[in-house]
Amino acid sequence: MIIEILCTGDEILTGKTINTNFGHISARLTEFGLSVRWGTTVGDDRETLMEAFRLAASRADAVIVNGGLGPTVDDLSQEIAAKAAGVELVMSEEWLARIESFYARRNRIMPPNNKKQALLPAGAELIDNPIGTACGFAVTIGKARFFFTPGVPREMRRMLDEQLIPRLLAMSGLKGVTRLKRFHSFGIGESRADEMLAGIPGLEDGGSVKLGFQSHYPQLETKLAIRADDEAALARLLDPVEAEVRRRLGNFVIAEDDQRLERVIIDRLAAGGHTLAIAEMVTGGGVAARIAPQLAAQAVFRRGIVGRDVAQVMSSVGLDTGLAAVGITEDAAVAVAQGLRQVSGASHALAVLMELDEGEDRLELGGNICIGLADPNGALARPARMLGGREWVRIGAIELALDALRRRLLGLQVDERIDFERR
């Protein structure tokens, strides 16, 4: 089955909005064995949209249209879909009631222009949007089945998983079951991971399990994709490969599947009845910002301190600022972590000290980082130096700090050389 993704919006064409929706849709379809043949971006222009719809209808079996379902004058997807299908726009009383209820539950008055979102091509199949006012729908144009989704990412993603993918799988005739196993790692790049996993039975060319990587610094996602006749056959093929990948990647695996590093940390702290305090500099509070928004963070996150220099951080935890003269050292990181643990009353303390090289931002610019950890079992430091420019180093330091805490909580080696540091 040939699939095309058609994204609409002047903001995408002008570069004002990065088109992350296309990447997400394409990646999710690929995970289910559905391949995308064409990708098109079109502005908010009636003539151009019509041309794009007709072209897609002539060459694809299924077309996913993303965007253009809002209430404003530049949202044209319903109108052009109806014209391309040769039908009239009709009011969906069902969806109009949904929109009115959406506003009523929020004690808001529905603007009159929102009625436009309930206008659908006659005979269109309604595709539910449980978290927004934009009505998804499906209609046949030429030989292709068109599926219309809103541009709001969280709405699109839920509709894709719950509504579109099941329909597309039914259209494709693909049989059996599929699974995508994901390992999230920190500290190794794509090339090194590929070397570490070389020679695993089942992953070779033509093997039962397809290996893939997706790098999004500072993390690397390792994917295992498989299709089998049934769940039993899938488990028989995937389980030994999965176990071997997990063993070879070892301590670098920070989370799996839908887990996130920060959630792994919080869950571990909560399981032990522990609490956490964080002190950081140069990161802009980035470490605490990863922890604090998590649902269970209230139970474990005791305090966050953000300082502009070592002296300020030391003063915040009750240390003599004269110690700042020693600079970014392991002793300083340990002292801050121990002081923070004492003043906060938290069982675990994480300190992130960092100084960036001076001069213009460039790839060669680096930073000296020292992570301090203190808990009931003692204290230790994890030094590092990273290169790559200010933002690259800052992001790397945040991830390094969280990973060091994860390793400490799990009883793993904290200071294990990673690909992103220079020693």
Q: Give a yes or no: residue 308 inside a domain.
A: yes
Same domain, 137 and 161: yes
Query: How many domains does the structure of the chain reveal?
Result: 3
Cβ(185)–Cβ(248) below 8 Å: no
Same domain, 342 and 361: yes
User: Could you tell me the CATH number of the domain that includes residue 206?
Assistant: 3.30.70.2860
Same domain, 104 and 144: yes
pLDDT at residue 323 tops 80: no
* pLDDT-based confidence at residue 306 (cuts at 50, 70, 90): very high
* pLDDT-based confidence at residue 48 (cuts at 50, 70, 90): very high
Question: Could you tell me which residue, 119 or 322, shows the higher pLDDT?
Answer: 119
Q: What is the pLDDT of residues 340-367, one digit of tens each?
A: 999 999 999 999 999 999 999 999 999 9
Same domain, 230 and 297: no
pLDDT at residue 327 tops 90: no
Task: Please give the Cα distance from 257 to 223 (Å, whole number).
Answer: 9
Same domain, 100 and 212: no
Q: Which two tokens stand for residue 292?
A: 């604090």
**Residue 345: what pLDDT?**
97
Which domain-ending residue is among 256, 275, 304?
A: 256
DSSP state of 352: E
> How does the average pLDDT of the chain come out, rounded?
94
Q: What global pTM score does this model have?
A: 0.82
Same domain, 19 and 156: yes
Q: What is the pLDDT of residues 364-383, one digit of tens each?
A: 999 999 999 999 999 999 99
Cα distances from 35 to residues 30, 44, 96, 237, in angstroms, run: 6, 27, 35, 23
pLDDT at residue 295 tops 80: yes
Give the type of residue at 234. L
Same domain, 266 and 382: yes
Same domain, 40 and 129: yes
Same domain, 41 and 187: no
pLDDT at residue 396 tops 80: yes
Sequence-separated contacts (24+) of 340-345 with Cβ below 8 Å? 340/277, 340/278, 340/279, 340/303, 340/305, 340/374, 341/277, 341/374, 341/375, 342/317, 342/318, 343/317, 343/318, 344/277, 344/302, 344/303, 345/275, 345/302
Q: What is the pLDDT of residues 230-245, one digit of tens each?
A: 999 999 999 999 999 9
Which domain-ending residue is among 213, 238, 256?
A: 256
pLDDT at residue 253 tops 80: yes
Strand, helix or coil for residue 382: strand
* pLDDT-based confidence at residue 206 (cuts at 50, 70, 90): confident
**Residue 326: what pLDDT?**
78
Give the type of residue at 9. G
User: Could you tell me the CATH number of the domain that includes residue 322?
Assistant: 3.90.950.20
Q: What is the pLDDT of residues 134-184, one digit of tens each?
A: 999 999 999 999 999 999 999 999 999 999 999 999 999 888 888 889 999
> What domain range includes position 150?
3-172
